[in-house]
Structure 1
C-alpha cells in the first residue's frame, strides 16, 4: 500500500498528540505542518522531522502532493479551515468536536459530500476494546431491544487552565463554544450514538452549571464563560432515551461508567476514578438468576488482530483514517456521528437558555455560525 501524505494544521498540544499517533503508522507520512507560532512551528518540525513549514494554511493547501489535511485547532476554527481544505481537493481529518455549532458542522459535512472528499472526525472512543465488545454483544442480540443509555463523564476538578493545565482558550465561548460537553462529553455521547445506530433525535432537555469555586486570578485571565457541568435528557423518535451528566468539576467522589440497557441485557462501561478501575461488564438473567459478567477483552482483541483481515485499521482513529484513505476499509460515519453529538450538546445549551424542553427543529433553526474569521 502506498503511503498517505498528510499536512498538519495546528502544532499545539492536540497537534503533537496526532503526530505521535502518526509516528506509529508506517503508511503515514507528514510532509508539512502549519502554525502561526513560528518558534513552536520550528521546534515541532525538527522534533518530528517534518520537511516543510508554513505560517499560512492557504499556502499549505496549495501543495499538490498532499492527500489529506489534519486540522488540530480550536473548535470555532474547524469549519472555515476544513471547508477551505475540502474545496482545495484535500480529504480532511478534524479534531473533535466537529465544529462550534450545528450549522457549521453541517456545512462541513455538506461540503465534503459536494467535493467528493472524505471527512473524518476524531472520536477516539469508537476504537476502544470496550466499544468493540459492546457492538458485538448488541449485534448478536445479547441486549435485545435497546431502550435507554446513560452518558457519564467525571472529573472532580479538571477544568482547563483554571485547575492547572491546558490553555485558557478552552474556557471561552467565542473560541471553544462549549465546556465539559464539548471537551469530554463528545467522546461518550458519540460512542453511545454509534452503538445505538444513530437514532433520530426528537426532543432535548438540559441544564448547565458553573458553580464550583475557582482561582480568581485564573478566572479573570481565562474569561471562563462555559459550563463545568452539563446535564441532559434526550428523546429519540423510536422510543429510545438518553441521559447525560458530564463534569469538569463537581463535589462528588465518583460517577458510575456509561451504560446501555435492553430488554435482554445491559452493559456498563468502565470508569476510572481516583486510580480505581471498574471494568466493562455485562448484565442479564439466566435460568431466573441475575448475572453480572466481565470479559477478557485483551484476549479477544488479540484474536481479532491475528484472525481478521484489516483489523489494524480499527486500532485507533488515525489508523482507521489511513486505512480508509488507502481504500482498505470504508470510513466509519464519524462526521455524521459527530454532527448528531453536536446537535445534542447545542440542544442542551438552548434548553438551558429557554428553561424548557426543545425540539430538534428548534435547535436546527436557531443554530448560528460561530466560525472565526481566518
Structure 2
C-alpha cells in the first residue's frame, strides 16, 4: 500500500489522540506537526519521533512531501486553516463540527470542489458496528419506508471546564460557536443523516438552555455563554422528520438511545459509548403477525465481515477510512456534505431560539455569517 504522509495542525488534546490513532494504521506516516505553543509542539514531536515541527501552519503547508493535513483546532479556526490547506494542494481531514457556522462550512466544501482535493470530517459514529448493522438493514429494505428518527445524547453533569474537564475554549462562542449541540450533538445527528440518506432540510424549530448551577468561580473564568441542553424538531423534504435532545448537563438518570422508525421495522441505538451502554442495539419488526424485539451479535457480524469483505478495515474508524480513501482503496464517504447539513440543522436551532419560531432552510442560509478567526 502507498504510504500517506500526513501533517497535523494542532497538538492539544484532540491532536494527540489523532497521533495515537494514526500509529495504529498501516500505510501512514506523520511527518510534521504544528501548534502555536512552541514548547508543546517540540515536546510532542520528540515524544512521537515526528521529524518536523512548526509554530506557523503556513510553513507546514509549504512542506512538499505532505499529501494530507489533519486540522485539530477549535471550531472557528476550521475554515481558514482548511481552506488555506486545500489551496496549498493538500487533502484535508478536519475535526468536527465542520466549522463554527454553516457559511464557513459551505466555503470549505466549495474550496474542496474548486481545488479537486478531498475534504473529510471526523464523524466517528458513522463507523460504529451499530451504524453498520442499521445500514445493512435499511439497505436491504427491512425497515421499509423511513419516516421519523430521534437523535439523543446524554451527559449528567459533564460540561467542559466548569465540571472539571477540558478548557474554557469549549464554553465560549468566540472559539467554539456553540455548546452541547456542536460538541456532541453533531455525532448523533450526523449518524442519523447518514442512515437516512442525508435528506434535504425544509424547516427547523428548536430551543436551547443553560439552567443548571455551576461553581461561580468556574462560571466567571470560563466565560460560559453556550448551551448545556439543546432540543429541536426538523422537517425534511418528502415528509421525513427528526426530533432531538442533546445534553451536556441535565437532572435525569439517562436517555434512550437514538432511533429510526420505518413502515416495516425500526432500530434503536445504544444509549452510550461502547463498553458504557446499558441498552444494546436492537431491531424491531413484525414477522408472521408476531412482534419481534431483536438484538444482534455485533461483534460476530463485524468478525465475519472482516473475514469475507475486501477492504472492510477501511471502515474501522474515521481515520482508517481517510487513509484508505487517500490510498484509492475505497471511495470517500460524503462526510463533508453530512457535516455541512448537520451544521445547517444546528444553526437553524440557534436561529429558531433567537426568533422564537420555526425557521425555513432559506432563512438559515441567508442569516448565516462567518465566525472564522483570521490566522
**1:79: how far off?**
0.1
Q: Deviations over 1:323-355 (max 9, x none)?
A: 000101000000000000000000000000000
Q: CA RMSD in A?
A: 1.0
- Partner of 2:217 in structure 1? 217
Following superposition, the deviation at residue 272 of structure 1 comes to 2.8
Q: Secondary structure at the match of 2:230?
A: strand
User: Does the aligned pair in 1 maintain the 2:212–2:250 contact within 8 Å?
Assistant: yes
Q: What SS class does the counterpart of residue 278 from structure 2 fall into?
A: strand
The equivalent residue for 1:85 is 85
Q: Could you tell me how far 1:11 is from its partner in structure 2?
A: 0.1
Structure 2: how far apart are the matches of 1:47 and 1:204?
Answer: 47
C-alpha distance in 2 between matches for 1:19 and 1:276:
27
Give 1:34's aligned residue.
34
CA distance in 2, matches of 1:366, 1:102: 10
Gaps of 5+ in 2: none
Partner of 1:331: 332
How far apart, in 2, do the equivalents of 1:215 and 1:347 lie?
31
**1:312 match: secondary structure:** helix
Determine the C-alpha separation between the residues in 1 that align with 2:100 and 2:184.
14
* C-alpha displacement of 1:293: 0.3
Partner of 1:196: 196
SS of corresponding position for 2:114: helix
Q: Map 1:231-250 to 2 at 5 A.
A: 231-250=231-250
Q: TM-score, normalised by structure 1?
A: 0.99
Q: Give the structure 2 partner of residue 251 of structure 1.
A: 251
Give CA deviations for 1:283-332 in whole Å, capped at 9, x if unaligned: 11122221100011100100111111011100000010000001010000
Aligned residue runs from structure 1 range 240-319, under 5 A: 240-272=240-272, 277-319=278-320
SS in 1 for 2:100: coil
**Correspondence for 2:138:** 138
How far is the alpha carbon of 1:276 from its aligned partner? 5.2
Partner of 1:22: 22
Partner SS state of residue 271, structure 1 = coil
Contact 2:5–2:28 under 8 Å retained in 1: yes
Distance 2:312 2:254 in 1: 34
Matched, 1:207 2:207: yes
TM-score by length of 2: 0.99
- Tell me the distance in 1 between the aligned counterparts of 2:78 and 2:217: 29
Q: Which residue of 1 aligns with 2:63?
A: 63
Match of 1:9 in 2: 9
How far apart in 2 are the matches of 1:194 and 1:250? Answer: 27
DSSP 3-state at the match of 1:277: coil
Secondary structure of 1:256's aligned partner: coil
C-alpha contact 2:270 2:277 (8 A) present in aligned 1: no
Match of 1:150 in 2: 150
Query: Which aligned segments of 4 or more residues in structure 1 are displaced greater than 2 angstroms?
Result: 272-276
Q: Tell me, in whole angstroms, the C-alpha distance in 1 between the residues paired with 2:243 and 2:44.
A: 41
C-alpha contact 2:266 2:284 (8 A) present in aligned 1: yes
What secondary structure does 1:233 align onto? strand
Q: Secondary structure at the match of 2:272?
A: strand
